[in-house]
Amino acid sequence: MKLIAEYNDHELSYVTEDTDSGKKNYVIEGIFAQAESKNRNGRIYPRPILEAAVNKFATEQVATKRAVGELNHPDGPTVNLDKVSHRITELNWDGNNVMGKALILDTPMGNIVKGLLDGGVQLGVSTRGMGSLENRNGTMYVKDDFHLATVDIVQDPSAPQAFVNGIMEGVEWVWNNGVIQPQHLIEEDVEEIEEEIQDVEKIETEIIKAPRRDLHLVQEREFKNFLSLLK
């Protein structure tokens, strides 16, 4: 399974709520996820699949006050308690939108979030989960093995496509006796990666060596060659 992260384009709102002790709680709320529409990463979550994952997460994590997330995405699916910034308190469906609410915690990372909010920084949320993808006519659909790990607080990455594909999906993850672990590359995998690197370097060389008058044609040809390498 791949580690899948989805940044949410919709702006969140944040409010402060007075407690009985006179202390103010910081709360963010808004759309945390969406089904049935192609997101900015070119993926679609079918409603039944996302609904099953969200409902399971709500029952097992939100309802038991265990649904915590981090400030920025880590490089794996496991939540690191020393980097937790918030606790997700509500997840509800509104049409195909998953409406969420999260309490900012008095942790080191949570206090950073509070400072950013006080400074007027617009933050977003991004789901983090594991699952397989299926290509249907050029669009990637999330399959029914999708598991929602948590919802993190992030700032909109400047290159979201590269951020998600390059960092979050760079490793295969497997269940090993109940523990999520990265799958180690075997010798055949290493050889395949080395061959792909050589192919990409060859494409770059062809473009660099192309005469100026033929540059556009060469770029078009080599771009097609590059697409053929994608799996």
Question: Taking the domains of the chain in order of start, what are their residue ranges?
Answer: 2-182, 187-229
User: In terms of C-beta density within 10 A (0-12 exposed, 13-18 middle, 19 or more buried), how is residue 67 classed?
Assistant: buried
Tokens coding 222: 């080599």
pLDDT band with cut points at 50, 70 and 90 for residue 106: very high
Share of the chain above pLDDT 90, in %: 39
CB 153 within 8 A of CB 28: yes
What's the whole-number average pLDDT of the chain? 80
Q: In this structure, what DSSP letter does residue 173 have?
A: E
- Residue 158 is among the residues annotated as catalytic for this protein: no
- Residue 126 is among the residues annotated as catalytic for this protein: yes
Which strands sit side by side in the sheet containing 43-44, from one edge to the other?
43-44, 139-142, 133-136
Q: What pLDDT score does 192 carry?
A: 63
User: What tens digit of pLDDT does each residue of 163-216 get?
Assistant: 333 334 445 666 565 555 566 545 555 566 566 667 767 777 777 777 877 777
The one catalytic residue in 73, 85, 86, 184 is 73
Q: Please state the rounded mean pLDDT for residues 74-91.
A: 90
The one catalytic residue in 13, 21, 85, 126 is 126
pLDDT band with cut points at 50, 70 and 90 for residue 158: very low
